[in-house]
Structure 1
Amino acid sequence: MKVGVTVPNFGPAATADSLRAWAAVVEDAGFDFLMVGDHVAATPDVTAAYPGPFWEPLTLLGYLAGVTRRVELGTTVLVVPHRDPLLTARSLAGLDQLSDGRLVVGVGVGWAREEFAALGVDPARRGEITDEYLRALLALWADDVVSFTGRHVAFRDVDTRPRPRRRPHPPLWVGGNGAAARRRAVRFGDAWHPLRAPAGWLRATGLPALRAAADEAGRPVPALAPRVVLHPTTERRTDDDRLTGEGRPDQIRADLDELRELGATHVLLDTHRDAASAARDDHADQRALVEDAARWLSPS
């Protein structure tokens, strides 16, 4: 099971120097991958949760590809209906090539209504737009010249080169905890990427529902690659009152052991707590937490 870390690409402390330091910590501490978040338009509903400035993730990952050598690089999650799929496919293929095949593409449908309004996208149709854009994305990665006709996007005889380095395409993780996300993961994804779930939820609810969705569709069950919090506490937390990855270090270690037992191929650790903490200049403290966690989370 590979373990990665979210790099907070938002907030006053998210300077170029800080982001470069994050990448060095993730790589030097022995983690396997890093991921960054996505918002195209930092509208008030976005900044209420993720204070600005907010770095555009694909630009940032291109930079981080140049200052790292080993770790995989990804999005958690790229909001699919916010970008034209032609641009998305080309940008991601270029990132995969320039990083020597280290890209992982986490995708989702988005949630911020003011952001959708700023981009001229109907949030009520974000699910159907996402599904069609994902079909277009996979088509664009599958051949050198591609035509596509859909309800929301259509194009003819587009030269897609350079295509991704990894074939048939970079790993595609579908984010979200609900039924629609699980169906989308079964249909399009290499992995399901549930986000910050309550302790015990994956075993009791999430994975049985994923297997049921795969059975209904007659398709293989995608891999499990969750994003969990990294919120160590000094006191023990009950499972009724905590997220996976929250509690004493021994509880967090047990959570990772359980995810390994459940067959997770990747686990992403997320230090973000809330807007107030993100607004403070505390990235150095968060990086120290990650370095410390690398020691007590490593398998015995």
Structure 2
Amino acid sequence: MRIGVTVPNFGPAATVDSLRAWAALVEDAGFDLLMVGDHVAATPDVTAAYPGPFWEPLTLLGYLAGVTRRVELGTTVLVVPYRDPLQTARSLAGLDQLSDGRLIVGVGIGWARSEFAALGIDPGRRGEITDEYLGAMLALWSDDVVSFAGRHVAFTDVDTRPRPHRRPHPPLWIGGNGDAARRRAVRWGQAWHPLRVPAGWLRAEGLPALRRAADEAGRPVPALAPRIVLHPSAEHRPDADRLAGEGRPDQIRADLDELRDLGATHVLLDTHRDATTVGHDHAAERAVLEEAAVWLLG
């Protein structure tokens, strides 16, 4: 099981020096993966939780590919309806080539209604748009010249080169905790990427529901690659009121052991708490990660 880190690419503390320090820490401490989030239009519903500046993830990952050598790089999650799939597929293929095949593409449908409005997209249709765009992206990665005809996007004889380094394409993780996300993971993804889940929920509810979705579709069960919090504390937290990754170090290690037993291929750790608080400091979050690396990675 590979262990990664969500790097906060937002907030006043997200400077170029801070982002470079995050990348160095993740790689030097021995973690396997570095991922960043996505917003395009920082409307008030976005900045209430993720204040600016918000670094565009594909641009940022291009930079981080140049200052790292070993870690995989990815998105948690790229909001598929926000970008034309021709642009998205080309950008991601270029990132995968420039990073020597280190890209993982985590995707989702989005949630910020004002952001959808700013981009001229109907949020009520974001699920169907996501499915069609994913189909177009996979087609664009499948051959050197591609045509596609859909309800939301259509194109003819597009030269797609350079195609991704990894064939047929970078691993596609489908983010989200609900039934629709699981069905989408079964249909399109190499992995299901649930986000910030309660302790014990995957074993009791999430994975049984994923297996049912796969059985109903007659398709294989995708891999499991969850994102959990990394919020260590001195006191024991009861499982009934904690997220996976909260509590004493022994509880967090037990969470990772359970995920390993459940067959997770990757686990992404999220140190983020609240970027809107006064004095929010990424250096403090990095210190938590650096200390946790000692008892997580040995």
TM-score range, shorter chain: over 0.9
- Provide Cα deviations, 1:249-276, integer angstroms capped at 9, x if missing partner: 1100000000000000000000111243
**Aligned match of 1:200:** 200
Is contact 2:77-2:106 (8 Å) kept? yes
Report the 3-state secondary structure (helix = DSSP H, G, I; strand = E; otherwise coil) of the residue aligned with 2:55.
coil
Is contact 2:4-2:33 (8 Å) kept? yes
**Aligned match of 2:288:** 289
1:43-62 aligned at under 5 Å gives the runs 43-62=43-62
**Superposition deviation, residue 78 in structure 1:** 0.1
1:256-275 aligned at under 5 Å gives the runs 256-275=256-275
Q: How many Å separate the matches in 1 of 2:213 and 2:10?
A: 35
**Superposition deviation, residue 282 in structure 1:** 1.1
Q: How many Å separate the matches in 2 of 1:4 and 1:298?
A: 11
Counterpart amino acid of 1:254? A
Counterpart amino acid of 1:93? A
Is contact 1:38-1:75 (8 Å) kept? yes
Give the total of aligned pairs.
Answer: 298
**Aligned match of 2:135:** 135
**Aligned match of 1:161:** 161
Report the 3-state secondary structure (helix = DSSP H, G, I; strand = E; otherwise coil) of the residue aligned with 1:276.
coil
Q: How many Å separate the matches in 2 of 1:186 and 1:16?
A: 37
**Aligned match of 1:188:** 188
**Aligned match of 1:23:** 23
TM-score of the aligned structures, taking structure 2 as reference length: 0.99
Counterpart amino acid of 1:61? L
- Where structure 2 has 5 or more consecutive residues not aligned to the other structure, the ranges are none
Is contact 2:100-2:165 (8 Å) kept? yes
Counterpart amino acid of 1:181? A
| Distance change >3 Å, CA 291–CA 275, structure 1 → 2 | closer
**Aligned match of 1:234:** 234
Further displaced range: 287-296 or 177-186: 287-296
Q: How many Å separate the matches in 2 of 1:168 and 1:295?
A: 36
Q: How many Å separate the matches in 2 of 1:44 and 1:275?
A: 14
**Superposition deviation, residue 239 in structure 1:** 0.8
Q: How many Å separate the matches in 1 of 2:18 and 2:49?
A: 20
Q: How many Å separate the matches in 1 of 2:74 and 2:171?
A: 10
Is contact 1:235-1:247 (8 Å) kept? yes
Q: How many Å separate the matches in 2 of 1:249 and 1:6?
A: 19
Counterpart amino acid of 2:24? A
Counterpart amino acid of 2:297? S
Q: How many Å separate the matches in 2 of 1:115 and 1:193?
A: 23
Counterpart amino acid of 1:175? G
Counterpart amino acid of 2:285? Q
Q: How many Å separate the matches in 1 of 2:58 and 2:154?
A: 24
RMSD across aligned positions (CA): 0.8
- Provide Cα deviations, 1:197-220, integer angstroms capped at 9, x if missing partner: 000100000000000000000000
- Provide Cα deviations, 1:104-130, integer angstroms capped at 9, x if missing partner: 000000000000000000000000000
**Aligned match of 2:279:** 280
**Superposition deviation, residue 281 in structure 1:** 4.1
Counterpart amino acid of 2:176? G
Q: How many Å separate the matches in 2 of 1:230 and 1:100?
A: 29
**Aligned match of 1:224:** 224
Counterpart amino acid of 2:239? D
- Provide Cα deviations, 1:150-174, integer angstroms capped at 9, x if missing partner: 0000000000000000000000000
- Where structure 1 has 5 or more consecutive residues not aligned to the other structure, the ranges are none
Q: How many Å separate the matches in 2 of 1:65 and 1:298?
A: 23
